[in-house]
Structure 1
Amino acid sequence: MKLKGIHHIAIICSDYENSKNFYTKILKFSIINETFREQRNSYKLDLKVGDNAQIELFSFPSPPSRINSPEACGLRHLAFEVENVTEYVAYLDSKGIRVEPVRIDELTGKRFTFFKDPDDLPLEIYEQ
């Protein structure tokens, strides 16, 4: 028995419409399903990422803030594979998304960089 891959990553956002726009209009993830859960006053948006993964985007009334420490124990960032980092950086720039300088992974020689979602969650693009 073995794990077959990542099924989904769950993200809680502070502004549902803003985050929905970011993930669907800017990052261009397609919507699988959108559900409003009345008893929780909460949305759950399932987004298709690549061929086999999903993001579950949740909204909750007044979620607590995350402690901002990139080296704290826990999930550090979410990385997406792209064909060309330079082209994707130009695309993000055209949408007003601030992107860090491109770096080279010293272990693989691949190019990568970071940007943030509307709630300052760190996202990475990593070249194939």
Structure 2
Amino acid sequence: MIEYQHLHHVSLSVRDLEKSKKFYTEVLKFQEIERPPFDSKGVWFAVGSQQLHLLEYPNGETLRESSSLDDGHFAIWVKSYRDTIAWLEEAGVPYEAKPDSIAGFSQIFILDVDRNIVEFDSEYGS
């Protein structure tokens, strides 16, 4: 069984990263936080104990028809990486696992029935 702990972050696709960054920092006063060196262009913010991640897509395209996991999504922190994988396998849900992600924590990605991305995060080795 998956043991949910809290919502970790929400990720949004934006057309102009600098314009969006200015809005979130200057208007909403979100605090920018360090982002790992992913291949995609983006920025992360602290929002209380959760995070907002912005990812730039200049043409405004959605990636639902592609295999990219960098599109808009929400992420849930789970107690156990291994138990979550076991639960998904038992339920027959396809997933992409990144146990040693450069994000600084383990990641598991699935698609819901409408191809929205759901991410499960946990401490390394949990």
Task: Tell me the TM-score range normalised by the shorter chain.
Answer: 0.3 to 0.5
Bigger Cα Rg: 1
After TM superposition, the score normalised by the length of structure 2 is 0.42
With CA pairs under 8 Å and 6+ residues apart, which has the higher RCO, 1 or 2?
Answer: 2
After TM superposition, the score normalised by the length of structure 1 is 0.42
